């Protein structure tokens, strides 16, 4: 029996095409931000964007499942502070606004991402 899922948040992000555009914009902004560039400049950016599209699709209630390392595993090799985490969220907010994601939808998504700081922030 099919289970109805609430994908209204996913739809607010413009579905798959919207998420691909968002991550293109987000990666450009991360690389242009002096605080974030050191973390992302040597990453496989295409692969990372793909994982982020999958993750945001899943987290927003869309029809995707990200597999791969846990958030803790994925960020273990980097020294990430609470300040770094907040800076990334700030860049993400700029990106969502630039892509026309409604403010309420931005906040619904951020509320689902925020608890991940426990697994990602690993440096005082």
Binding residues for heme: 75
**For 41, which DSSP code?**
T
The three-state secondary structure class of 60 is: coil
Quick one: tokens of 58?
């899943």
69 binds ligand HEM (CB under 6 A): yes
**Contact criterion met (CB below 8 Å) for 61 and 15:** no
Tell me the site size for ligand HEM, rule CB under 6 A: 21
Contacts of 98 (CB under 8 A, 6+ apart): 25
Quick one: tokens of 105?
């939808």
55 binds ligand HEM (CB under 6 A): yes
85 binds ligand HEM (CB under 6 A): yes
Nearer to ligand HEM, 8 or 79 (CB): 79
**For 115, which DSSP code?**
G
120 binds ligand HEM (CB under 6 A): yes
Question: Which residues sit at the interface with ligand HEM, rule CB under 6 A?
Answer: 36, 39-40, 43-44, 48, 51-52, 55, 68-69, 74-75, 78, 80, 84-85, 88, 113, 116, 120
């Amino acid at each position: 029996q099919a289970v109805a899922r609430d994908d209204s948040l996913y739809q607010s992000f413009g579905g798959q095409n919207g998420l691909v555009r968002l991550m293109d914009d987000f990666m450009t902004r991360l690389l242009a931000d002096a605080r974030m560039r050191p973390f992302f400049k040597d990453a496989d950016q295409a692969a990372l964007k793909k994982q982020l599209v999958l993750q945001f699709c899943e987290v927003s209630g869309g029809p995707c499942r990200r597999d791969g390392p846990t958030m803790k595993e994925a960020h273990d090799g980097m020294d990430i502070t609470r300040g770094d985490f907040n800076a990334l969220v700030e860049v993400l907010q700029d990106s969502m606004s630039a892509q026309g994601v409604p403010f309420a939808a931005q906040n619904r998504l951020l509320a689902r991402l925020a608890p991940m700081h426990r697994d990602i922030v690993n440096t005082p």
